[in-house]
A and B are shown apart, each in its own frame.
Chain A
Amino acid sequence: MISVLNPGIYCTIQDLGRTGFAHVGVPVSGAMDLHSASIGNQLLNNKRTAAVLEIPFGGCKLQFEKELTICLTGADFNPTVNGELMALNSVFKVPKGAVLSFGSQRYGVRTYLCVLGGFDTEKVFKSRSYYKGVTAGSYLQKGEVLNVGFNEPLKQQSYAKIKVDLQHFLTNEIQASKGPEFELLSDKEQNTLLNTLFTVSKDNNRMGYQLEELIGNNLKPILTSAVLPGTVQLTPSGKLIILMRDCQVTGGYPRVLQLSEAAISTLGQKTAGDEVRFLLK
């Protein structure tokens, strides 16, 4: 059990997401940086589907109500346990009563707290990922107590750790393939789309990231059709919107690019002012 001393902002429980319910309009959700969340579960020998806590901007303070085996992955916000600086991407035990908090940013945006056995919060439509209107919880609340799954001891007390490739956090290259409406862009528009260094706008969240630089275009809206996490929409005003994990299942703006799975995870570690460039594959 873990008590929330300070909920931070927009901390959510996440897993691989809620697939199979798009036909009733339910978004996929899931960890924004699925890559980093998966590393934590692998190091702990958890199931792939184990739920983790997504912590943007190191904004929460938690207390462990019993001894737990944990692993922090993703963004580095100088995490401390009882004031002692902890390494990321390594498995360690925290004693009962210990307090986890975060300091200033070193890299990335979203940190993942992974626990042995995964978080055992409410499961709706086969997933624990928070989504307002689907799960009772939409964000972490002060005073909330999070249950942890069956804490089976690790087979080997290896205290595994790995060195992650920091390029995942530092690169500004975002891999993408052509979206269904890419070919409707003129050659010039395609070139601008692929050769501009874009800035992430302050309008960025789990639903989508808007970019600041505009792509003037004459594309007509499309009849409402499917969109996916990673779909890059182009609005009539020229604004690009990159849909993220909590995006709606359908949309009406032309879909010019589709991010790779890895690129969605990379973008999930970016915030306002960060720069990105699309790399067509």
Chain B
Amino acid sequence: MLNQLTYKTFGKNAILIEWPAIISEEILVDIIAYKSKIERLLKLQDIVVGYNSILLVYNFEIVKFQSKVAFLKELYFQKGVTSTIPGTHWRVPVCYDPRFGVDLAFVSKHKNMSIETLVQRHTKVVYKVFFIGFLPGFLYLGGLNPEIAMPRKKTPRLRVPKGAVAIGGNQTGVYPAESSGGWNIIGNSPLPFFEIDKITPCFAKTGDAISFESVSFDVYTSIKAQIENKTYQLKKIK
């Protein structure tokens, strides 16, 4: 699938490439394919992916913007199109216990839905990782069931605990570290989403898939202990 892309300068060192303003897996596939072609040929300082954009940050001032864009356009139209995402599908354990899911009762009432159904709606979906932003290791996930979409809280909490699994608008995610935040907290995952001592600090990347798996408080505690002892193996699906 080829899209109509726009190319804009963004400061002196960066080029912003934009797709139509839609959140879709088709665009994600196209972004990943284009990004991997760019990475193969250019040594860049940073590549930042958004829902419908890629920012190329060069480690020098861009003087010939038009010729850079011409080169990038040619690269986009070159063959090597992938129609599927070659990502990994991760199984992410979540404990939906009210001790963690401090907003479970509120969301359940607001949605007129039992907690059980809510959890089932949340765990049934295969979420796509669009990109990482907001906090180190915070995954922007696509695919939340609209039936459990929840407006953000009017007043954000000053302290959302590390691992909190939450719903904000039509998005869901896991807080990789303690932070302030306005999303509705429905559970907690024991997995580390950002580890400074790893070459790959976040196990997931753009294009991967995530499934949440409901675990009991005891299983949660046991996984947490295994992670601390460094004996826990991340679970992949397939």
Stretch at the interface among B74-82, B104-112, B128-136, B212-220: B128-136
Which single member of A24, A124, A134, A228 contacts B202 (CB below 8 Å)? A24
- Inter-subunit contact B133/A248 (CB<8 Å): yes
- Inter-subunit contact B10/A228 (CB<8 Å): yes
- Inter-subunit contact A25/B135 (CB<8 Å): yes
- Inter-subunit contact B49/A23 (CB<8 Å): yes
Q: Which residues of A contact B49 (CB under 8 A)?
A: 23, 226
Report the interface size for chain B: residues with CB under 8 A from the other chain: 40
Q: Is B52 an interface residue (CB 8 A)?
A: yes
- Beyond A124-B196, A134-B196, A180-B16, whether A25 also contacts B133 by CB under 8 A is yes
With both chains docked as a complex, state the minimum distance between the C-beta of A250 and any C-beta of chain B, in angstroms.
Answer: 3
Q: Which residues of A contact B8 (CB under 8 A)?
A: 180
- Inter-subunit contact A226/B196 (CB<8 Å): no
Binary interface profile of A, 1-45, with partner B (CB < 8 Å = 1, else 0)?
000000000000000000111111111000000000000000000
Which single member of B48, B137, B194 contacts A226 (CB below 8 Å)? B48
Main secondary structure of the interface of B (DSSP, over half): loop
- Inter-subunit contact B131/A250 (CB<8 Å): yes
Alpha-carbon distance between A65 and B171 when the two chains are bound, in angstroms: 52
Q: Is A261 an interface residue (CB 8 A)?
A: yes
Alpha-carbon distance between A193 and B205 when the two chains are bound, in angstroms: 38
Q: Is B29 an interface residue (CB 8 A)?
A: no
Which single member of B18, B48, B140, B177 contacts A133 (CB below 8 Å)? B177
Most buried by A among B10, B45, B131, B137: B10
- Inter-subunit contact B135/A225 (CB<8 Å): no
Q: Is B138 an interface residue (CB 8 A)?
A: yes
Chain A residue nearest to B178 (CB atoms) is A133
- Beyond A23-B48, A24-B201, A133-B194, whether A223 also contacts B21 by CB under 8 A is yes
Alpha-carbon distance between A134 and B136 when the two chains are bound, in angstroms: 8
Alpha-carbon distance between A124 and B195 when the two chains are bound, in angstroms: 11
Q: Is B184 an interface residue (CB 8 A)?
A: no
Q: Which residues of B contact A249 (CB under 8 A)?
A: 48, 132-133
Which single member of B140, B202, B205 contacts A224 (CB below 8 Å)? B140
Which single member of A19, A20, A258, A260 contacts B10 (CB below 8 Å)? A258
Q: Which residues of A contact B53 (CB under 8 A)?
A: 223, 225-226
Q: Is B55 an interface residue (CB 8 A)?
A: yes
Which single member of B45, B131, B134, B176 contacts A20 (CB below 8 Å)? B45
- Inter-subunit contact B136/A177 (CB<8 Å): no
Q: Which residues of A contact B54 (CB under 8 A)?
A: 226
- Inter-subunit contact B51/A177 (CB<8 Å): no
Most buried by B among A226, A249, A260: A226
Chain B residue nearest to A131 (CB atoms) is B136
Q: Which residues of B contact A258 (CB under 8 A)?
A: 10-11
Q: Which residues of A contact B57 (CB under 8 A)?
A: 19, 22, 228
A-B contact pairs, 7 of them (CB 8 A): A24-B201, A24-B202, A133-B136, A177-B9, A180-B8, A226-B55, A250-B131
Interface residues of B, Cβ cutoff 8 Å to A: 8-12, 14, 16, 18, 21, 23, 45-55, 57, 59, 131-138, 140, 176-177, 194, 196, 201-202, 205-206
Interface residues of A, Cβ cutoff 8 Å to B: 19-27, 124-125, 133-134, 177, 179-180, 222-226, 228, 230, 248-251, 255, 258-261
